[in-house]
Amino acid sequence: ADRVRHTFDVYNFQDDDWSLVAQVAGISVDLYGGMNCPIGSTFVQENLGCTINFAILVPYWSPTGDPFWCKVAAMAVLAIFHVNERNDTVVPTASQLDAGNWAAAAGGRFAVTYMLLNSADTDDDGNAGTLAFSEECLHYDARRNGCAALIGAAYSRTSSPVATLGGVYNVPQVSYWSSSEELSSESSYPYFSRVIVQDGHLASGWAHLCSHFNWTTVAQLHVSDVYGAGFANSFIDAARELGITIRTSQSYDFGSEETLANAMDTIKASKALILLVICYNEHLQTIMDLAEERGMIGDNFVWLVTDGVSDGARVLNHTDDPERLARQLFGALRASSVGNSNTQRWQNAEAAYRERIAEILKDNPELSLFLNLEEEEQFTCPDGDDVCSIMGWVYDAVWAAAMAASMMTEADIGVHYWAQDVYENLKANVSFEGNSGTDVRMDEYGDRSAHDLRIYLKNWASDGQEDGFTTAGFFDKNIID
């Protein structure tokens, strides 16, 4: 009702503007000869169907440029193409999109449009992503139609405020990389879901790994955002259950060397030799420099890092002295869940990416600022690579949202019922073979089910030519359970 009143205040309506009023209010009115479209969608006369608008929130543009996130955005666009084409080379059950939804009931066809939103959420507050979502998804006028669902965000610190707004404004959300356990709260984030497992499972994996190696005393350092604090709390709970002592758990503010130095002083004083670090790439060099100044690097110390630190050489892009950081990280361990394992489905997606990247860049020229077409046409992914994992997750996030939306009936398309029922479909009814696994499905909290979780353990080493994390082994969640 507030939206309707606001709309009347702003606009002088003509006869053809009543469709906008209906969409803003979520009112079921026969506007299109029997075809009612949900909020955040458009009726397409040629298809006799509703075209659902997805917003895709990716930090694909920054002043320094990052091809990593541009690849993720491009894979999301490929997923949109495949949804609309009912392409089953990656998701074998693509034809289910036409089974029993409101569009099919009216003789129409379910289809998806998209808009790429740049979150650039590498700052500590996630404001850029929140603003992009608010401007494009929550404002309704003759130019902007809102969005029926959000794919994203990448970072938990952006998903937290965005999911709060989505709960208020009834926008279902499927994230591909926001892993903080705190986002599992349905009371705080009623329409948030994700196709990546939440950090509680990875933190439990770290605790079991420490127990296995008899590392019974641990100190941890974490960034003070929702990702860092959430992971730290999850690890503390899991470690204590296994009899592991947490000597100290210290936080630091994003971008604050002073708080980092104070935290490192406290960790040094704790005399702990096993150190778990929950941080991002851009903080790692400062952390390791401070540690080296305090004599905390060498054979007596074991450094453990979470997946906030990138795999492979990408972490070295965030330092002005790669050789120094590589030396400091020698022997460090990194654990992460993986979004694909070089399955045939991933190979099909990889081939489609190379085949259609020119089309994707033509439709989205902003991505071509940081992607070289010739290089992308040769793009390949090694097993367990970071960018490949996230590309797998974002592809499946698009499909999960599309499947949940396609299950709606005409009676469900009011603004309230739309978000609630899409979310319920995600939890209870969406299950498919996807890019990131044989059984993509959510649990009762909207989190990716961890029943088939595989955690990769990697060791920082050098083969004489290239430094980076190399796979030392893996373990499955059923081993932990």
Quote the CA–CA distance of 115 and 95 in Å, as a whole number: 24
Query: Lowest-pLDDT range, 212-216, 380-384, 465-469?
Result: 380-384
Question: Residues 6 or more apart from 185 whose CB is under 8 A from it?
Answer: none
Contact present, 151 and 158 (Cβ < 8 Å): no
Residue 4 has pLDDT above 70, yes or no: no
Contact present, 191 and 173 (Cβ < 8 Å): yes
Instruction: Write down the pLDDT at residue 132.
Output: 87
Question: Residues 6 or more apart from 128 whose CB is under 8 A from it?
Answer: 59, 118, 119, 120, 121, 158
Which residue carries 């002083």 as its tokens? 265
Would you put residue 441 in left (φ > 0), alpha (ψ -120 to 50) or beta?
beta
Share the mean pLDDT of the chain.
Answer: 83
Quote the CA–CA distance of 460 and 53 in Å, as a whole number: 42
Asked whether the CA dihedral 471, 473, 477, 481 is positive or negative, the reply is negative
Give the pLDDT band of residue 43 (cuts 50, 70, 90). low
Instruction: Write down the pLDDT at residue 17.
Output: 46
Q: What is the pTM of this model?
A: 0.87
Instruction: Write down the pLDDT at residue 8.
Output: 38
Retrieve residue 75's tokens. Answer: 């894979």
Contact present, 469 and 334 (Cβ < 8 Å): yes
Instruction: Write down the pLDDT at residue 15.
Output: 40
Instruction: Write down the pLDDT at residue 147.
Output: 84
Percent of the chain residues past pLDDT 70, beyond the cut: 79
Quote the CA–CA distance of 53 and 110 in Å, as a whole number: 11
User: Which one has a higher pLDDT value, 175 or 95?
Assistant: 175
Instruction: Write down the pLDDT at residue 103.
Output: 63
Instruction: Write down the pLDDT at residue 139.
Output: 63
Give the pLDDT band of residue 142 (cuts 50, 70, 90). very low
Instruction: Write down the pLDDT at residue 411.
Output: 60
Question: Residues 6 or more apart from 173 whose CB is under 8 A from it?
Answer: 149, 150, 151, 152, 159, 162, 163, 166, 191, 192, 193
Instruction: Write down the pLDDT at residue 375.
Output: 92
Quote the CA–CA distance of 194 and 400 in Å, as a whole number: 9
pLDDT in tens, 351-381: 999 999 999 999 999 998 889 999 999 988 8
Asked whether the CA dihedral 451, 453, 454, 457 is positive or negative, the reply is negative
Q: How many CA atoms lie within 13 A of 212 on its CB side?
A: 9
Give the pLDDT band of residue 401 (cuts 50, 70, 90). very high
Instruction: Write down the pLDDT at residue 336.
Output: 87
For residues 172-186, give the mean pLDDT. 95
DSSP-derived pairing of the beta strands 49-58 and 41-44: antiparallel
Quote the CA–CA distance of 423 and 403 in Å, as a whole number: 11
pLDDT in tens, 276-313: 999 999 899 999 999 999 999 998 999 999 999 987 67
Query: Lowest-pLDDT range, 107-116, 238-247, 317-326?
Result: 107-116
Contact present, 392 and 448 (Cβ < 8 Å): no
Which residue carries 């990131």 as its tokens? 436
DSSP-derived pairing of the beta strands 333-337 and 302-305: parallel
Quote the CA–CA distance of 221 and 251 in Å, as a whole number: 6
Could you tell me how many residues make up the chain?
481
